[in-house]
Amino acid sequence: MQTGCNTALRRTAPRGSPGSFEQSAFAFCILNFELQNHLVLGVQCLNLVKRYDDVVAVDGLSFHVQRGECFGLLGPNGAGKTTTIEVLEGLLEPDGGSVEILGLTWREHQHELRQRLGVQLQETQFADKLTVEETLRLFRSFYHRGRTLDDLLRIVELESKRQTWVAKLSGGQKQRLAVACALAGDPDLLFLDEPTTGLDPQSRRQLWALLSQYREQGGTILLTTHYMDEAETLCDRVAIVDHGKLIAEGAPRELIATLGAPKVVTHQGTLEDVFVALTGRHLREE
């Protein structure tokens, strides 16, 4: 980038121009580069299709995630959320459509993407007889760059559990350890698949605060969740999917507003109302 800027300066700067002109032009070039980089989407998903034999799990799904935002992928059981996120993470090959992550594709830039992403799976299985520190040291070794072990332990508030076996951790502590492993490479984009399922309210809110801090530092998040209050709290925008198709997309407040005036005066509309209204009230067995 710097070479390109210097070339542009040599082409445009008049002979004998003062150094301040070159400094200003170079600063403008850097700003232009940063703006172009910011315009690259975190996720671009176009007409995504994924089949399992006769079952179409994802059926022409399209959405995008801006850099620096938290985007929620919502839907009932069997809607195709986890399949979609596993395709985006490079764990599954799509049967149709296209996916770009940070402006790159898995086919051509797999190694680079692995270094720039953090992933927390729906179920994370750690080795029970490793300590918290050993587990983090293992995950940190996968990345060329990243945070220090002390920094990771501080972020997820597990300093006091440094030498504790994973088997001895509570459910909330294991979830925080999973997030710490996802953050080990200081990722540009974080994938979270139902990160707070089964946690008590205090542990959930601790994770919310952790993710908000990551956002404040410029990180991008794509998450799935069944908790509508979580989506309302964390997400700038959400996409609601059912049977592998997009049925609604927008900011939580915008979607709530589409419900119109609440029928019961004492009840204010919530994202959960939107979700139930769009996906139905019957239970899903699949």
In a domain, 124, yes or no: yes
Residue 263 has what pLDDT?
A: 47
Examine the domain organization and report whether 30 and 156 are in the same domain. no
In a domain, 252, yes or no: yes
For 240, phi then psi, to 5°, come to -100, 125
Q: What percent of the chain has pLDDT over 90?
A: 60
Structure-token pair, residue 77: 């059981």
Question: Are the CB atoms for 101 and 113 separated by under 8 Å?
Answer: yes
Domain around 246:
43-279
**pLDDT tens, position by position, 217-236:** 999 999 999 998 999 999 99
Examine the domain organization and report whether 90 and 220 are in the same domain. yes
Residue 37 has what pLDDT?
A: 47
Examine the domain organization and report whether 86 and 24 are in the same domain. no
Residue 24 has what pLDDT?
A: 56
**pLDDT over 90 (residue 9):** no
Examine the domain organization and report whether 74 and 205 are in the same domain. yes
Give the length of the chain: 286
In a domain, 139, yes or no: yes
Examine the domain organization and report whether 163 and 78 are in the same domain. yes
When pLDDT is averaged across residues 116-144 and rounded to a whole number, the result is: 93
State how far the Cα of 37 lies from the Cα of 45, in Å rounded to an integer. 19
**pLDDT tens, position by position, 29-53:** 544 544 444 468 999 999 999 999 9
Question: Are the CB atoms for 186 and 139 separated by under 8 Å?
Answer: no
Examine the domain organization and report whether 9 and 64 are in the same domain. no
In a domain, 285, yes or no: no
Examine the domain organization and report whether 81 and 176 are in the same domain. yes
In a domain, 60, yes or no: yes
Residue 283 has what pLDDT?
A: 43
Examine the domain organization and report whether 33 and 170 are in the same domain. no
Examine the domain organization and report whether 138 and 8 are in the same domain. no
When pLDDT is averaged across residues 15-38 and rounded to a whole number, the result is: 49
Report the CATH number at residue 250: 3.40.50.300
In a domain, 286, yes or no: no
How many distinct structural domains can be found in the chain? 2
Q: What are 120's strand-pairing partners?
A: 192
Name the region of 280 (left: φ>0; alpha: ψ -120 to 50; beta: rest).
left
Examine the domain organization and report whether 7 and 55 are in the same domain. no
In a domain, 257, yes or no: yes
Examine the domain organization and report whether 159 and 49 are in the same domain. yes
In a domain, 284, yes or no: no
Between 64-68, 112-116, 210-214, 263-267, the lowest mean confidence (pLDDT) is in: 263-267
